A and B are shown apart, each in its own frame.
Chain A
């Protein structure tokens, strides 16, 4: 995991920092160098996430496609690395009083507020992954039905039903403002049975993944509302890493909201409030533009979520439904071959989901706990300051 790769470099720097505690005030040059390095690392890490440009195809290792589960996991790794380095710069070996000086006295509480919002987004996404796992299960039914030999009407019907549920579920999930509900009530009788129960409708509206009226789009908006790039002298001081880290947090959360189903994401902002001239932000801005474009397309078409695997399920699911519609016994060989290619791809997608979704959930939980811990560390420092300033009075 890249997380551990980066660990070495900044841990080394931390130990150096420890020795410098005493001479901190006078060591402005060291600080500038650290900030320089941090920006460079951020730029490098996000550059690695960018899709390979078509002009220089990477021939050796095929990189994970953007917005795939594997790619999101890399993105989260990058987040964890940046966060660790950020804390090394801002907290470790630093005189805590520096954090309570303007402009940090305002910027840090703002950042902590963003952290809390990010935690709720993490929870909403964890819930959304449950929905994606449900889609995976439906696709798996179709795959296992169509893979059966001999292959006849029974299997085709079984697959068709699973695929229809899959496509409806993915479409519904988006239409209902991503309030994820399982499409388990198959068939007319089942639906009627569920409908007879008068609390079911009420329940749907109650089973919020986060809380009533919570909206991922609004949270993202709130996170970006007071995010302003530092200017003038602030731009070279400690306000910069706070801004960089907040931008990364916003980008990571925004990307997850755009990619994975979660509660109320309609109206998700596609504007990214980061000045284009910032060198460290180039890759992030590039990624953001690309994803925002996809998101706009999605909003227009009303197609399934941006997650690469979900798009695959959608595309392959549609094509297999077409096949099952026109299926006549016995199947023509030509057609069967084409179907089996699609089927293999669907099977491969399911396998990737099976391998990736639960670890992704666990990783999001790791991000969650990291944010909780970082927040607590900053609060401790602020608390310490509160006390020392009280003593000074």
Chain B
């Protein structure tokens, strides 16, 4: 239609041409079996030709034709003014009639554009009237638009399963300390690799009405009512998004002040919600919103990207600000997993965010998300360092009773075991840091069959954590008054560390050499224990063979009694001590048994000590040794006295 405008029939030749065209049109119009569309097209052309020749509209039959058509369209539009029902609810016939009327008026307006209205009072009057019809029709279209948007919106109901399972696990919070060896990681990764992945475009508006919305958009934009269209469209879609956010997903907005003051348990559950919401809102909802904008506003690129950014902006900023608040907060080690989860979720979504906010309008939000990722990484590194500090700073003044496994050991080992799930991310985060100092911990491992993982930044950091733990354990062991218990404690704890590493993915990070060395360490403590406890006890049974027979006889009896007393003393104390690992306990008992029983049997056999002087038979002793390290408070007399 724009083509008509440039023609200005000044020359006589043009006039002739137009007259000829008129003639052809008349002939064509006489053909009987024309479709309605074609007939309308011909009529349009006729009017254009009339207007182009300038003055014919004043007096010719065409002016009457234009007025007639305008009147017809006006009737069509005004008919709905008094009608309470919505056009799009009434039926497709009414819709196309209404849109047809708008199109008609628009065509007439466009065709006037070449005419100087000041000179032509009749045209001016028609134009006023046409504009008025457009105004009424556009107002109506806006109402229809909102009606359709409100009544045909759809919501994608997310799967709550993954979230709830994720919500139920307590691995992040304080109870971590007491957590033993449950399948910590199994439940945890569900949230990361969960159901929402890949392309997930859903219908946010019933697909049936999308063509209607597109028709309204086309009509409004063609009439230069794009601003009104945008206001209504953005408003309605923003409300839909708000409803989704607050009502369907049951999310809440928090001020930064709120987040910083939040209790850890609340914060950790809000962080999980954020991770979940990020994936659903960005990957599914907003991607679908963008698609919807494209479907309705395809072809109007500027309007389309503007609408999308305006709809999504507040939600993007809300998600962003929660992340900012978390990254601003303190970095206690417990937070590391949450921070890593957030980091991974955001890292995973960054490409999608980039493509959603590709255009200039949203670029600053896009940059902010990149910046947030950097901040989360920084916080995660800090939380990791806090762990090391926390290990060093853990200074309980009381020794752990019974020499068992210290809660710190459990905590640290479970903690770093969980860390290996995040190995890629952590390696990435540690890569830009200077790790040279931690390399030395690997020591002289130059064998060729060592996995490269053993030398990755995370492996170095993990080894430095366990060595901080070892130092801390040595300090703690000094709190025991008995040397034996000190060794039991260290043996227990180092054994626990080794078992944890051997039985998990940690194994490749630490390497076989490290494991061999540490097996040696706890075995050394076992040997030291035996020496510390049993050397003095067994010294009573030692044969020195220098004394005379009679002296020896009493002395043997005496030594046997003294041995029995010493054994009982050891028994009373050491049955209370604790070796939690059954295998380790068994091993230590056997080697102790070998030593003690052998010495006792030899002593009794060689010195022929009569039964009345012997409190415990060899068998008794063997049985008694089975009570060791059970962590019980049993008294000797009740159970074992014969």
Residues of A within 8 A of B (CB): 116-117, 119-120, 123, 126-127, 130, 134, 137-138, 140-141, 144, 148-150, 152-155, 157-158, 161-162, 182-190, 193-194, 196-197, 199-200, 202-203, 206-212, 214, 219, 329, 362, 365, 369, 372, 375-376, 390
Contact = CB atoms under 8 A, between A and B. Distances in A.
Given A186-B143, A206-B247, A375-B328, A157 B135 contact: yes
A323 B230 CA distance: 26
Q: Main secondary structure on chain A at its contact with chain B?
A: helix
A152 B364 contact: no
A182 B526 CA distance: 75
19 contacts: A116-B260, A120-B257, A123-B255, A137-B227, A150-B117, A154-B136, A155-B131, A155-B135, A157-B135, A162-B228, A184-B232, A187-B139, A190-B147, A203-B247, A210-B253, A211-B254, A212-B253, A214-B255, A375-B328
A58 B489 CA distance: 83
B317 interface: yes
A150 B253 contact: no
A200 B243 CA distance: 8
Q: Main secondary structure on chain B at its contact with chain A?
A: helix
Contacts of A140: 227
A137 B255 CA distance: 29
A374 B130 CA distance: 61
B54 interface: no
Contacts of B247: 199, 202-203, 206
B135 A158 contact: yes
B239 A200 contact: yes
A372 B323 CA distance: 13
B147 A138 contact: no
Contacts, number: 146
A152 B124 CA distance: 10
B231 A184 contact: yes
A257 to B, nearest CB: 14
Given A127-B317, A152-B128, A187-B139, 12 more contacts: A120-B257, A123-B321, A140-B227, A150-B117, A153-B132, A154-B134, A158-B135, A193-B150, A202-B247, A206-B247, A211-B255, A362-B364
B132 A365 contact: no
Given A123-B256, A123-B321, A150-B117, A157 B132 contact: yes
B158 interface: no
A297 B232 CA distance: 33
A372 B324 contact: yes
A152 to B, nearest CB: 4
Contacts of A144: 224, 227
Contact of A197 (B124, B150, B234): B150
Contacts of B150: 193-194, 196-197
B137 to A, nearest CB: 10
Contacts of A119: 256-257
Given A138-B231, A153-B132, A182-B238, A211 B146 contact: no
B174 interface: no
Nearest to B131: A154
A190 B144 CA distance: 7
Contacts of B298: none
B417 to A, nearest CB: 28
Given A203-B247, A207-B246, A116 B256 contact: yes
Contacts of B127: 150, 152
B234 A182 contact: yes
B313 interface: yes
B180 to A, nearest CB: 32
B308 to A, nearest CB: 15
A291 B201 CA distance: 50
Interface in B241-277: 242-243, 246-247, 252-258, 260
Contacts of B371: 369
A139 to B, nearest CB: 10
